[in-house]
Amino acid sequence: MGPQFYALIPIFVVPATFFVGLLAYMALFPEIRETPKTETSLPKEQESISAVLRVLREDERKVVELLMSAGGMMLQSDIARKTGFSRVKTHRILYRLSTRGIVTAKKYYNTYQISLAEWLR
C-alpha cells in the first residue's frame, strides 16, 4: 500500500460519513421529509391584516382593531378617548405604528387624522 492509497481514503470516507449521518438524521427527524401543509387561503387583505396583528403589541393591536372597526380612519383624540389611553401613550403608539408604515397621520385642526395604510385596507 503506497501513499496513493492513503490519499484516496478521505475521498471515499468523508462522503460516506456524510451520507450515513444524513440518513441517521432523516431517521431521527422524519418531519423534514414531510411537505408543509398549506393553510386555507384567505383573501390578500385578510392575510396582511392577520400578519400585522400577530406581530403587534397589545396596545398597538387595540388601536389597529379600533381603526379597522371605524372604517380605517379616526381622529387621534377619538382614539385616545375610546381606548382609554392617555394622549401621550396614544401619541407614542401611533408614532411606532407610523414608523412601520401601518398608519398615516395628517394634520387636522389641533389633532391628527389617523388612517390605516392603503396596503391594509
Which residues are 116's β-sheet partners? 103
Long-range pairs, 83-92, Cβ under 8 A, ≥24: 83/59, 85/59, 89/59, 90/63
Predicted confidence (pLDDT) at residue 36 exceeds the cutoff of 70: no
- pTM to 2 decimals? 0.63
66 and 74 in contact (C-beta within 8 Å)?
Answer: yes
If you average pLDDT over each of 8-12, 26-30, 59-63, which comes out highest?
59-63
pLDDT at 11: 82
- Model confidence at 113, pLDDT cuts 50, 70, 90, reads very high
CATH class of the structural domain 44-120: mainly alpha
**What stretches of the chain adopt beta strand conformation (E)?**
73-75, 103-108, 111-116
pLDDT surpasses 80 at 116: yes
Give the model confidence (pLDDT) of 55-69 as tens digits: 999 999 999 999 999
